[in-house]
Amino acid sequence: MKTKKQTFEDALTKLEEVVRELEDGNITLEKSLALFAEGITLSKFCHRALGEAETRIAVLTEDKNGELFLKELPSRE
C-alpha cells in the first residue's frame, strides 16, 4: 500500500487542530503530552518545508551585462 506524502498544508491544518485541542484543556495529561509531541513534530516539518520553499523560489543572479535578475532554483523532488 502506497502512503501519501504529507503536504505543508495538511501538516499546518493538523497543527492547528492540535493547538485548538490543547487550548481547550478538556483532555488528560497523557493526551496533552502526546499532542504536544505531535505538535512539535508538525511544527518542525512546517518550518523545514517553508525553508526549502524559500530557498527554491529564487536566487539573485547577475547576467553578463551586470544586470541582476531572479533565477528560480530547480526543485529537489
pLDDT of residue 74: 66
Extents of the domains making up the chain: 8-71
pLDDT tens by residue, 28-76: 999 999 999 999 999 999 999 998 887 766 666 777 888 877 776 666 5
Rounded to whole angstroms, the Cα distance separating 13 from 11 reads: 5
pLDDT at residue 19 above 80? yes
Q: What CA–CA distance (Å, rounded) separates 77 from 73?
A: 12
- Model pLDDT, residue 71: 73
